[in-house]
Amino acid sequence: MKPVTFTCKGNSVDPNEIGQLSVEACKKRLAELSKGLAHPTRVEIVRMLENKPLEERCVCGDIVNALPLAQSSVSQHLKVLKETGWIQGEIDGPRVCYCTVGGIMEYYLALIKRSLKGE
Amino acid sequence: MKPVTFTCKGNSVDPNEIGQLSVEACKKRLAELSKGLAHPTRVEIVRMLENKPLEERCVCGDIVNALPLAQSSVSQHLKVLKETGWIQGEIDGPRVCYCTVGGIMEYYLALIKRSLKGE
DNA sequence: ATCGTTTATCGTAGATGTACGATAATAAGG
DNA sequence: CCTTATTATCGTACATCTACGATAAACGAT
């Protein structure tokens, strides 16, 4: 039985896993995630998705409509955010429902602390 | 009377100032600082400077020696870090003593929280 | 003044980023 | 099957990034 509202659950990350990464891996991962945030449009997208209530799905089209960019440009930004590990998309019929990777902000915060301080 | 050890003090930032920024300004600033960290070499430089003891100065040449890059390439990364607000340099004779902007990590952490959550 | 040290800047080449319109791909509905 | 809706990808143009060697600029010391 298919639910009426499609909520995006998917993958999540755990800040505790950071301790197992090598210092070198930490730096690379931090640089990668930072690249994801290195454009105001992408900050806005992550912000949007991070503040969505769980029961409210966020479809690609909603994101496009909320931004003053062409659909193809938004799609490119979404791709960067997916590749750098900030968001994930679940296909729902002809649509794609996007959400942030679970706990990614806390993960990023922990990664900064571990990468910039310590050792 | 000139001190024997040259310590880099300079500017600092206060996370409390973030509350005064507009949301739009927050996003731009976060994107900018993120761009600074968006390369492993620059993460390493910030890490080096952030972990230096106060009495130990960090001259440009030390940074160059610690990295497997040409001097001109390191200089470019330092420029990016300066422009994005992570570090500052003080001229000391023929040398330049670099250090992080005071409290910049805490500022960045606070900026992430304010920009991605809230409102 | 000249020299050596240190750092920034220039010039260049190749890769990547950013924006757009056009087109392809996928799925639902008739 | 054909159309519509939705999203990804392609092709393109221009800007920015990243690396290097070469050169310039600033300063201390001889």
Looking from the CA of B38 toward its CB, the CA atoms found within 13 Å total 17
CA distance A27 to B38: 10
Q: Is residue B9 part of a domain?
A: no
Residue that is written with structure tokens 């230096």 in the block = B52
Bases of strand C lying below 7 A from some protein CB: 4-11, 17-22, 26-28
CA distance A100 to A8: 9
Q: How many residues does chain B have?
A: 119
pLDDT of res. B119? 57
Task: Tell which wins on pLDDT, A5 or B109.
Answer: B109
CA separation, residue B41 to residues A65, A95, A107, A115 (Å): 37, 39, 21, 12
**Among B112, B44, B103, B34, residue whose Cα is nearest residue A116:** B44
- Asked if residue A5 is part of any domain, the answer here is no
Structure confidence by residue, pLDDT tens digits, A46-91: 999 999 887 777 889 999 999 999 999 999 999 999 999 999 999 9
Residue B24 lies in a domain: yes
- Determine, yes or no, domain membership for A47: yes
Closest by CA position to B98, among listed B76, B80, B78, B118? B78
Q: Is the dihedral of CA B66, B12, B36, A84 positive or negative?
A: positive
Q: Find the domain containing B58 and state its range.
A: 15-116
Give every CB contact of residue B62 below 8 A, 6+ residues apart in sequence. Answer: none
pLDDT at residue B2 in the model = 35
Q: Is B119 helix (H, G, I), strand (E, B) or coil?
A: coil
Give the distance, in angstroms, between residue B78 CA and nucleotide C9 C1': 13
Which residues have a Cβ under 8 Å from the Cβ of B53 and sit 6 or more positions away?
none
Residue A70 lies in a domain: yes
pLDDT of residue A53: 82
Residue A52 included in any domain: yes
Q: Which long-range contacts (CB under 8 A, 24 or more apart) does A43-49 make?
A: A43/B27, A43/B30, A43/B31, A43/B34, A43/B115, A43/B116, A44/B27, A45/A74, A45/A77, A45/A78, A45/A81, A45/A87, A46/A81, A46/A86, A46/A87, A46/A100, A46/B116, A47/B27, A47/B115, A47/B116, A49/A87, A49/A98, A49/A99, A49/A100
Q: Return the CATH number at A112.
A: 1.10.10.10
Residues in chain A, total: 119
A7 lies in a domain? no
**The pLDDT value given to residue A117:** 86
Looking at residue B93, its pLDDT comes to 87
Per-residue pLDDT of chain B (119 residues; tens, 9 = 90+): 334 455 667 889 999 999 999 988 999 999 999 999 999 999 999 999 999 887 777 889 999 999 999 999 999 999 999 999 999 999 998 999 999 999 999 999 999 999 998 65
Domain annotation covers residue B3 = no
Cβ of B34 within 8 Å of Cβ of A35? The answer is yes
**What Cα–Cα distance (Å) separates residue A53 from each residue in A56, A57, A58, A99, B32?**
5, 8, 10, 11, 28
CB atoms under 10 Å from CB of A15, counted, come to: 17
Which residues does A contribute to its contact with B (CB < 8 Å)? 27-28, 30-31, 34-40, 42-44, 46-47, 50-51, 105, 108-109, 112-113, 115-119
Q: How many domains does chain A have?
A: 1
